[in-house]
Amino acid sequence: MSQSDIQNLLQQNRLLTEEVKRRIDQIGAINIVAATVSQSLDLDVTLKTALRAVLDVVGAEAGGISLIDEASKEVVLRAQEGWPHDWVTQPMRIPYGQGMSGQVITRDEVVVDNDFDGTEALAVPQFHNENFRAIAMAPMHARNQIIGILSIMSNQRNAFSAENIAVLKSVADTVGVALDNARLYETTAEQEERLHAIYQATSEGIIATDLHGRISLINHAAATIFDVDAERLIGTPLRESPIHRRVRDSLLHALSDNNNDKKSFQVNLDKRLLSIVVSSIVIESSIDQARHNDGWVIVVQDITHFRDADVQKSEFIRTAAHDMKNPLGVALGSLNMLNDFVGADDPTAQELIQLGLNGISRLQDLINDLLHLEQIEHGYGASMTTFKVGDLMEEAVKDIKPLLSEKNLTCVVEAADSLPQLTADRRWVKRAFMNYLDNATKYTEAGDVITARAYGSSTMLYIEVNDNGPGIPVEAQSRLFERFYRASDDRIKGTGLGLAIVKSVAEKHGGGVYVQSQQGKGSTFGMTLSWGTPPPINPTSAG
């Protein structure tokens, strides 16, 4: 090997060593910035420490960090160091696409101007008086997009070497990711605060528990309803919490149920009535994408005022109805007497009297139906007995015999003798069945057949009345059981309360109502009643 070869080799070796040293310095610089910026999740702190660290490792006297504001489509200066003027308190906002920052974003690469004098087309007005002579800006990325710009500045021309720029480029993304994390953390914290404010402000009581029934959250309203100290309850198992025993037992019962359905019930405390809904919190696991039950949320409402208003309303209806019955009876008696006086030779007077009698009889029907509905809904005078449904049906058909004969209708009762006996309030069940029968006779053409059927499943008794009447349009079917709803024309007498009474009776006996009808082909009206021990008749005593 010649002397010049050796010289060459030594030269190459020196260059290589310098290059390796430079790289090591760069990696060291990146590490320093990375370590510094990951120390805090506070966005303002991260902005300041990141900028300080970058200026140190790059060796620049001034710098800035701008973040992209997606909403206003601007680049906003959030941290600065070494600038004569404060552009952070009154932030420098540069619209997308303008100035050097605009170039950085459009080209998505580092832009360097080592001979800046502020008069260039790219210089935004705010930079004119900052006296910078060299500027380098690098895009910061996070989650595959540009989130801002990291800039370094100097008062000297040609201050930034290729090496400075390489370091700036390398640290920009590290700073970007740290800032993005801090921003995400801030957004999450903000959302959490907003959520906290919302559930604290709601008038409904909210309690959340984990899967084991340990209380993880309780708002002001719940603490007030149960008269407990919210702070001290966090982490306490529900079964050990100092809330009213009756409420606690009902809650524990609802939580012990393994199915995830919503459970709602009412609890009657000494003077108050609480409505409670228990729902399971179901979350989607990011690991196996399955849905898991993660605990429970309990929503409590004090509905004492509704109950009081309801009691007052029904008292008013009862009093008003009783007060109306007497004068109506007197008017009815007088009209009947008048009818006798007038005699058959004055048909106009008789017609007028008949109109008056019809009106009074409709009013009496309405008052009776209203009273019945109130009685059923509030369980006044409820009395449970065990009886054969077939007997009740035969008895009811006998009662409406005059109506059937009037229209020459036949009513067939189909109820197997083997049908188990029903435990229910016989008077109400008969009333409900009579209402179905009554409607069938009212709405069926003369000479037709009505079929009343009873059959059972393991849990329910079904009672149905079928007729070949006019049927009911589909759009009216869902509203038939509402109070005062009438789908028929006014030529057929009715109060619009008959089906509402049936519904109320069925629901009080743990069942419901249904209708199958086709226009022109007749209708089948049905109700279900639970066989067994009847449910509590008065809803306010549940729980």
**Residues contributing to the site for ligand ADP (CB under 6 A):** 435, 439-440, 443, 467, 469-470, 472, 480, 485-488, 494-500, 523
Cβ atoms of 65 and 205 closer than 8 Å: no
Q: Which is nearer to ligand ADP, 82 or 496 (CB)?
A: 496
Residue 402 CB, shortest distance to ligand ADP, in Å, is: 18
Sorted by sequence, the CB contacts under 8 Å of residue 371 that are 6+ apart come out as 317, 318, 321
CA–CA separation, 192 and 205 (whole Å): 19
Q: Is 376 exposed, middle or buried (0-12, 13-18, 19+ CB in 10 A)?
A: buried
Q: C-beta of 431: minimal distance to ligand ADP in Å?
A: 12
List own/partner pairs for 502-508 with CB under 8 A and 24 or more apart.
Answer: 502/432, 502/435, 502/436, 502/527, 504/373, 504/376, 504/377, 505/376, 505/425, 505/428, 505/429, 505/431, 505/432, 506/432, 508/376, 508/377, 508/379, 508/382, 508/425, 508/428, 508/535, 508/537
Nearer CB in complex with ligand ADP: 66/435 = 435
Nearest Cα residue to 78 out of 101, 48, 103: 48
Least Å distance, CB 444 to ligand ADP, is 7
Q: Is 130 or 467 the residue whose CB approaches ligand ADP more closely?
A: 467
Cβ 207 to ligand ADP, closest distance in Å?
42
At 91, list the tokens. Answer: 């932030």
Nearer to ligand ADP, 262 or 407 (CB): 407
Question: Is residue 282 a contact partner of residue 294, using CB atoms and an 8 Å limit?
Answer: yes
At residue 302, the 3 state secondary structure works out as strand
Distance of closest approach, residue 439 Cβ to ligand ADP, in angstroms: 3
Tell the smallest beta-carbon distance from residue 537 to ligand ADP (Å): 22
Residue 387 CB, shortest distance to ligand ADP, in Å, is 24
Q: What is the DSSP letter of 510?
A: T
The whole-angstrom separation of Cα 158 and Cα 166 is 15
Amino acid at 513: V
Distance CA 326, CA 253 (A): 50
Distance in Å, CB of 407 to ligand ADP, minimum: 13
Closest contact distance (angstroms) between CB of 433 and ligand ADP is: 13
Of 179 and 452, CB closest to ligand ADP:
452
Q: Which is nearer to ligand ADP, 148 or 494 (CB)?
A: 494
- Which segments within 385-511 are labelled E, that is strand? 385-387, 410-415, 422-424, 449-456, 460-467
Residue nearest ligand ADP, CB atom distance: 494
